[in-house]
Structure 1
Amino acid sequence: MIRLAALCAFLAGPALADAYPNAQRIISVGGSVTEIVYALGEQDRLVGRDTTSSYPVAARALPDVGYMRRLSPEGVLSINPDLVLAEEGAGPPETIALLQGAALPMETIPGGYDRDAVGAKIFSVAQALGVPEKGRALSQQVLAEIDAALTEVAQQTRPPRVLFVLSMQGGRIMAAGANTSAQGILNLVGAQNALSGVDGYKLVTDEAIANSQADVILMMDRNAGRHQADVLRHPAILTTPAGVNQRLIRMDGLKLLGFSVRTGTAVRELSAALTQVQG
């Protein structure tokens, strides 16, 4: 009942963004935002996207204006957009200021790493595009998928301790602490973040890795392919159950961490992978 009340509140509440129903040359910045634009059936209005917008595959054919946190104002303005939809955290600030100074309409789409944040993000994109009814329908559909997935994962017995490894740099591991999308997806599947006392994505000490006593290592697929062997041979990892049993899960990063239209699928896939890898 609480979830239903929360859904009704944001669907019936005030607009989450200004509406630009006439915008026909839109740049989408942020993979989750681009996924939503496509899921709403409004992709024909897109004329550009950022590097993180890799799904669906059709989005890759659009001009790339750069990584969402290192946007070039020249790259954005060269496409002559009439609207930029930017995921929260896009930047750098000086680029955003220049674009706003050029009188380019911009809407920042709220982030968040939980179930309700997904619904708010979808509805905010739809509102900005001037298609709120599509947003309500898609929000309801996606949240129903997430709820169904959460019902399935609630059957787990002992929550596994999972260490999310973002990358390795010079033999040191960058892992996810609190207030991250990795923490958010682990919360949804009922797993524990094995790394405690850390906020954000940080390079962590070997001692912290060993003390994590992680049951499973989780990585994005694009990084795991390059670093999997090194991670599983890392001396600190080898002191953990994950290292001893060589338990590592690889998943598509945008699906796993995007908190967008595929989050329900991500919950199901990660939960199934955790069950399989633990035997």
Structure 2
Amino acid sequence: MRNVCSRLFVLFGLFVLTPVWAAPQTVCERDDAGRQVCVGEVKRVVSLAPHATEILAFLGAESRLVGVDSASDFPLQMRQLPKLGDYLRVDLERLALMHPDLVVAWKSGITPDQLNTLANLGIPVFVSEPQSIQAVASNMKRLGHLLGLTASSDELADRWLASFDALAQSHRRQKPLRVFYQVWADPLMTLGGSHVVSQIIQMCGGTNVFKDLKTLAPTIGVEAVVQARPDVILSSGGTSDLDRLMAQWSRWTAVPAVARQHIAVVPQDILVRNGPRLLNAAQRVCTILDGYRSRAGVDSHG
């Protein structure tokens, strides 16, 4: 009898010391606001930025998304998810009722008060604002780590970066084309050298004529563009935007881009949405510049 009791005691002790379900491991990453974000198991995610939604889908986590902002429209199935608001107008009450394990928010699209409210509710928030190709890849890796997808997200991010490297290498010896990128017509706005669009232009064998401007999206004058004599004028948008762009610059025939009709647009949602489809945008910009370079008879190894 004593032996039986001893065995039961040992078995009971093992049962107590070894739980049937281990508690999920806490994982921490620093976000783009410099905050330490810690999560347990992440099964339910809310994204409050289109670029973040696309990053999460790229990582294979689209099935975990339970709500998104109103501008998240890619991949197509994201349009069917509950919409929680737009820029600076997030329905926090509805969001809380979704019981997310993680919220991914745009740094420029969420207020400190909203962040504090989510923190008080105990909801982890990863603030995302990648401003370069490398920063997008970093977001992929850090979010992948929080989601428990470290191995696959690291591989996806590295392969994505390698595709940009291949584009840059294939255009490394080409003579640069001078490119003006127009953000807005009135007031006339462009992008400085620190913007990811400038990075893509350079990668494709171009030079942003306003790359030396320190402001991210400076306002300029028409005279500055005329004096810069760009070989190419680029913007983002659709067919109607291209028609307006060509009409806007048609009188300035001293500008090489206008004289040669080297004016083009790239779909906005891939070029100025800092997510995985920046690669598609870079490929499109490279194709445009290569075509104009060929039409102008520019020596590709100048």
Common fold, TM-score beyond 0.5?
A: yes
CA gap 1:61/1:189 in 2 versus in 1, 3 angstroms = same
Corresponding position: 1:92 with 2:111: yes
Q: Distance in 1 between matches of 2:63 and 2:128?
A: 20
The corresponding residue for 1:217 is 233
Correspondence for 1:38: 57
Given the alignment, which residue of 137, 147, 164 partners 2:181? 164
Query: Distance in 2 between the 1:210 and 1:25 partners?
Result: 52
Q: Where do 1:141-220 residues align within 5 Å?
A: 141-156=159-174, 158-169=175-186, 172-195=187-210, 196-197=212-213, 199-220=215-236
Letter in 2 for 1:24: K
- The answer on whether the counterparts of 1:167 and 1:227 sit within 8 Å (CA) in structure 2 is no
Contact in 2 for aligned 1:20/1:130 (Cα 8 Å): no
Q: Which amino acid aligns with 1:84?
A: V
Change (3 A) 1:147 1:98: same
Answer whether contact 2:241 2:265 (CA < 8 A) is retained. Answer: no
For residues 239 and 75 of structure 1, the distance between their equivalents in structure 2, rounded to whole angstroms, comes to 56
> Aligned ranges for residues 211-250 of structure 1 at < 5 Å?
211-221=227-237, 224-234=238-248, 238-250=253-265
**Identity of aligned pairs, percent?**
23
1:45 is displaced (CA, Å) by 0.7
Does the C-alpha gap of structure 1 residues 136 and 46 become closer, same or farther in structure 2, counting only changes over 3 Å?
Answer: same
What letter is aligned with 1:151?
Answer: Q
Question: 2:74 aligns to what?
Answer: 55
Q: Tell me how many residue pairs correspond in the alignment.
A: 260
The Cα shift of 1:206 comes to 1.9
SS at match of 1:166: coil
User: What is the CA deviation profile of residues 225-245 of structure 1, one whole-angstrom value per residue up to 9, with x for unaligned ones?
Assistant: 343333223257554222222
In structure 2, list runs of 5 or more residues that go unmatched: 1-27, 32-36, 296-302
Question: Which protein has greater RCO, CA pairs closer than 8 Å, 6+ apart?
Answer: 1
| 2:122 matches 1:108 | no
Name the CA distance, whole Å, in 2 between partners of 1:123 and 1:206.
Answer: 42
- How far off its partner does 1:118 sit? 3.0
Distance 2:72 2:109 in 1: 13
Q: Secondary structure at the match of 2:137?
A: helix
Gaps of 5+ in 1: 1-13
Q: TM-score, normalised by structure 1?
A: 0.80
Letter in 2 for 1:182: V
Could you say if the C-alpha distance between residues 84 and 239 of structure 1 is closer, same or farther in structure 2, counting changes exceeding 3 Å?
A: farther
Of 265, 271, 277 in structure 2, the residue corresponding to residue 256 of structure 1 is 271
SS in 1 for 2:189: strand
- Say which of 144, 151, 158 aligns to 1:140: 158
Distance between the aligned counterparts of 2:74 and 2:116, measured in 1? 28
**Could you say what the CA RMSD is over the residues aligned between the two structures, in angstroms?**
2.7
| CA deviation vs aligned residue, 1:32-53 (integer Å, no higher than 9, x gap) | 3222211221111101222443
Task: Confirm or deny: 8 A CA contact 1:173 1:203 kept in the other structure.
Answer: yes
Please report how far the alpha carbon of residue 151 of structure 1 lies from its aligned counterpart in structure 2 after TM superposition.
1.9
Distance across 2 between alignment mates of 1:218 and 1:82? 41
Task: Provide the C-alpha distance between the structure 2 equivalents of 1:42 and 1:70, rounded to a whole number of angstroms.
Answer: 25
Q: Are 1:83 and 2:109 an aligned pair?
A: no
Larger mean Cα displacement after TM superposition, 88-97 or 268-277: 88-97
Q: More deviation in 235-244 or 144-153?
A: 235-244
Q: Distance in 2 between matches of 1:185 and 1:69?
A: 29
TM-score, L = length of structure 2: 0.75
Which one has a bigger Cα radius of gyration? Answer: 2
Which residue of the partner structure matches residue 12 of structure 2? none
